[in-house]
Amino acid sequence: MARRYDHSREEIRSMALDAAEAIVAAEGYKGLSARKVAAAIEYTVGTLYLVFENLNDLVLQVNGRTLDALFERMAAVSGPADSPRKRLLALADAYIAYAKAETPRWNTLFEFVAENGNSLPDWYLVKLSKVFGLAETALEPLSDRRQALEVQQAARVLWASVHGICMLKIRQRMDLAGGQSTEAMAGMLIDNFLRGFAAASHGDQQTE
């Protein structure tokens, strides 16, 4: 049995990604294997290696799709008419909602990363930047009174923080949150950070 040509390379590629996403959603990152993906699309392992460099590559593509989905969901709630605070809260809620709804997929985003020596391809970094960019865009109106770089840095600090809160809650189901919901924690973060950010004029220093 060879030379079937039922599907083009591109078709096989997307079938494999679909199958991999389904397996991850059902069994998590750990449950994913080349043999399972191959079986699901009714090809054999060898074929997968014609289309993907290796399993890491496949997972990276899956994560790329996840980042796209995340971006879509977040972009949909970010109305330009709203205040920075409202936009950030909406973005955080959307992020948290996605992480809760698609926990295995979201987890895979981070369970994977550390493996290949910390070097991610450019196309992946671009997708990541797009997600971060939403927070930056939301904060942009503040650039009147503040240096643009500082606002950008604030957006990234805030977004990394929202992610940290989300991580804490979802990964370890901890009672370390003091009884707050993920959304409430993110809200507390955003409110206090923005209040502090607005209060400080550029160059201010706290001394104690």
What residue ranges bind a copy of itself (CB under 8 A)?
A: 28-30, 83, 85-86, 107, 110-111, 113-115, 118-120, 125, 128-129, 132, 149, 152-154, 156-158, 160-165, 167-168, 171-180, 185, 188-189, 191-197, 199-200, 206, 208
DSSP string, 3-27: ---SS-HHHHHHHHHHHHHHHHHHH
Closest CB 40 distance from DNA, rounded Å: 12
**Residue 45 binding: pick among a copy of itself, DNA, none (C-beta 5-8 Å cut-off by kind):** DNA
- Binding of DNA at residue 81 (CB under 7 A)? no
- Binding of DNA at residue 124 (CB under 7 A)? no
Do the Cβ atoms of 138 and 87 come closer than 8 Å?
yes
Q: Which of 36, 86, 100, 171 binds DNA (CB under 7 A)?
A: 36
What is the rounded end-to-end Cα distance, in angstroms, of the chain?
Answer: 75
Burial (CB count <10 Å: 0-12, 13-18, 19+), residue 177: middle
Dihedral through CA 95, CA 122, CA 171, CA 30, nearest 10?
Answer: 130
Q: How far apart are the C-alpha atoms of 200 and 208, rounded to whole Å?
A: 15
Q: Which of 40, 55, 69, 128 binds DNA (CB under 7 A)?
A: 55
Please choose, out of 49-57, 61-69, 97-105, 106-114, the segment that lies near DNA by the rule CB under 7 A: 49-57
